[in-house]
Amino acid sequence: MFDKTLAELAQGLTNGDYSSVELTEAYLARINAEDSQYNSFISITDEQALSQAKVADAQRAAGNAGVFTGLPIAHKDIFCTEGVKTSCGSKMLDNFVSPYNATVVEKFNSAGAVSLGKTNMDEFAMGSSNENSFYGPARNPWNTDCVPGGSSGGSAAAVAARLTPAATGTDTGGSIRQPAALCGITGIKPTYGRVSRFGMIAFASSLDQGGPMTRTAEDAAMMLNVMAGFDPKDSTSLDRDVPDYTADLSQPLKGLKIGLPKEYFSGDLNPSIAASVQSAIKEFEALGATTKAISLPNTALAVPAYYIIAPSEASSNLSRFDGVRYGHRCADPVDLEDMYKRSRGEGFGEEVKRRIMVGTYALSEGFYDAYYKKAQQIRRLIRQDFIDALKEVDVIMGPTTPHPAFKIGEKTANPIDMYMEDIFTLSLNLAGLPGMSVPCGTTEGLPVGLQIIGNYFAEAKLLNVAHQFQQATDWHQQTPANISTSGKES
Amino acid sequence: MSLDSTDVQKIAHLARLQINDADVAGYANSLSDILGLVDQMQAVDTANVEPLDNPLDAVQRLRVDSVTETDQRDQLQTVAPAVELGLFQVPKVIE
């Protein structure tokens, strides 16, 4: 039963094959028995989950069940959940039991979903390997010596290990797509503003976007139907109709125009990742799509521009953690400044401090034009590359990452080595475009991700393209060798 | 652009971050590397390019200035490090 998708589990609940309580108990037992290998959860919320499951079963018995009623999921620990520790992977918030729900959490609760727990992540979503978590690294189920990617590494590992059928994630520079690629699952970062940021602990507000991490495109569409929509509590939320993302999944791809940016197939790209992506593109051609060589000439500038814009916004956002109203406070402060400095020095980990300092420097007097303003100008050039390209093609494809999952500890010595892992994903956040990663192969026993990029608000098109690929291939059904998916239906 | 230990101490003070003495040299190195990376931007002519701060060119949405939230002070202060009489307590600021 642990190999079933959300759509299949929804059908099982409808058929009465099992109750939500039985399903929830089975997943909780599996997490409690197996997560010590992966460290993918920070909190397992047995009690709340079972009480949500009971409510869901009662709703079903009363004839009031919706599509999501009784389905178990997990939330990245960046989403505030009322009455549950919401740590954001940081010592700073290790003692923070949120007094309110994020809008995304509220929407899943209203839809009748069951939250199994909160997943591991890089501290404040800053990282590409999950090694920057106060709770220790999550591990990749395909090879537990390897990272699951980050920052939504716990969500990706938990879905890949079949500890939850799906999870929420957030993506500021690739934090849904990169771990999805490294763990062999499906993930979509929607258009900026499509999913509410209220109660999603802020890293870089002009880039942050929540989205689903699932086994299939169909499940991602089901999740996005719950997550997307206008929220007056988020000042950059889009006030725009939300389509039914499952409606167009079955559209044929005949005539689809795929752009292949030359910059995504050069440089430091692992040759077997390139080969897997090329095979995937052949598969799309067999489905009736055509390809066109395109160029995104400012691709290489995405990393430098991102590493000014994201840290600058982070240095501002993270100034709220001062030991006054919530979070870590140092012992015996001698005065207010001592309290600020030691609370922050003790509460934040190394990479978070590094990015706060980069941002503080970039925004400081005399340097603003050379760094922040320059990066925002480059941001416009990067966006224009995509706008021009998407006049010629329907979607853009390439690898999600330049390399497969790397060993834990392999890239921690030099932060820039880690930053370069996001070279293909960062530019979408700068442009605000939706992007998705789907499994398209393996190399040396590790999954390879295909990135599919679409125009603004084209999530339904991306999900359609991904779903058709998943109807024609079985990469998304492959399971790490050591994972058992059988299990009694409790 | 290369930063030394004095620069790191100054930036850390501006950010109100305590950095252990043993870590200052390491931060000077990694911050210098990052600034070296971002200096690639300087080679690009952006003289006539408007900065982009919202990818969808959205402008700040305004709402009617009316009360929409109820008083949740007690609930919000349950997570505070130190509270007295409904106020957040901090070390003495004025002698």
In B47-76, the residues whose Cβ lies within 8 Å of chain A are 49-56, 58, 60-61, 63, 72, 75-76
Residue-by-residue DSSP string for A41-65: EEEE-HHHHHHHHHHHHHHHHTT--
B91 interfaces chain A, CB cutoff of 8 Å:
yes
Q: What is the pLDDT of residues A424-449, one digit of tens each?
A: 999 999 999 999 999 999 999 999 99
pLDDT at A375 over 80: yes
Question: Mean pLDDT, to the nearest integer, of A51-69?
Answer: 98
Question: Does A486 participate in catalysis according to the annotation?
Answer: no
pLDDT score of B69 more than 90: no
Per-residue pLDDT, averaged over A364-383, amounts to 95
Of residues A411 and B93, more confidence is placed in: A411
How far apart are alpha carbons A153 and A429 in whole angstroms?
18
Where would I find the H helices in A1-152? 6-15, 20-34, 46-61, 103-110
Output the CA–CA distances (angstroms, integers) from residue A229 to A190, A265, B28, in the order listed. 11, 35, 43
Contact indicator for B76, B69 with CB cutoff of 8 Å: no
B14-65: per-residue pLDDT in tens?
999 999 999 999 999 999 999 999 999 999 999 999 999 999 998 888 889 9
**For residue A489, is pLDDT > 60?**
no
Residue of B nearest to A420 (CA): B37
Q: Which chain A residues touch B37 with a CB distance below 8 Å? A: 303-304, 307, 416, 419
Residue B9 distance to chain A (closest CA, Å): 10
Separation of CA A170 from chain center: 4
The answer to whether B25 faces chain A, any CB pair under 8 Å, is: no
User: What integer pLDDT is reported at residue A440 of this predicted model?
Assistant: 98
According to DSSP, the residues that pair with A79 across neighbouring strands are A200
Q: Which two tokens stand for residue A471?
A: 């109807």
Give pLDDT tens digits for A136-146.
999 999 999 99
Nearest alpha carbon to residue A234 among B37, B67, B3, B63: B63
pLDDT 10s digits, A73-84: 999 999 999 999
Q: Tokens standing for A140?
A: 């990749």
pLDDT tens for each residue of A7-22: 999 999 999 999 999 9
Smallest CA–CA distance from B39 into chain A, residue: A304
The pLDDT of residue A3 is above 70: yes
**Do A338 and B91 count as a contact with CB atoms less than 8 A apart?**
yes
Q: And the tokens for A84?
A: 């549950």
pLDDT of residue A83: 97
Residue A488's pLDDT band, with cuts at 50, 70 and 90, is very low
Are A364 and B14 an interchain contact pair (Cβ–Cβ within 8 Å)? yes
For testing contact with chain B, the best of A325, A329, A428 (most B CBs within 10 A): A325
- State residue B60's pLDDT score: 85
Using CB atoms, pick whichever of B16, B34, B50 lies closest to residue A341.
B16
Interface test with A, best of B20, B34, B45 (most A CBs within 10 A): B34
So what's the pLDDT on residue A177?
A: 98
A262-265 long-range contacts, CB within 8 A, separation 24+: A262/A293, A262/A294, A262/A295, A263/A295, A263/A296, A263/A297, A263/A299, A263/A300, A264/A296, A264/A299, A264/A398, A264/A399, A264/A424, A265/A398, A265/A399
pLDDT bucket at A214, cuts 50 / 70 / 90:
very high
Rounded mean pLDDT, A53-81: 98
Determine if the pTM surpasses 0.90: yes
d(CA A489, CA A19): 10
**A215-254 pLDDT, tens digit each:** 999 999 999 999 999 999 999 999 999 999 999 999 999 9
Instruction: Decide if B75 and A345 are in contact by the 8 Å CB cutoff.
Output: no
Distinct helix (H) and strand (E) counts, chain B:
3, 2
Task: Tell me the pLDDT band of A487, cut-offs 50, 70 and 90.
Answer: low
* Interface contact flag, B46 A344, Cβ < 8 Å: no
Angle between helices B21-38 and A302-317 in degrees, nearest 10: 140
Block residue for tokens 């395909």: A142
One-letter amino acid identity for A313?
A: E
Q: Is A295 a catalytic residue?
A: no
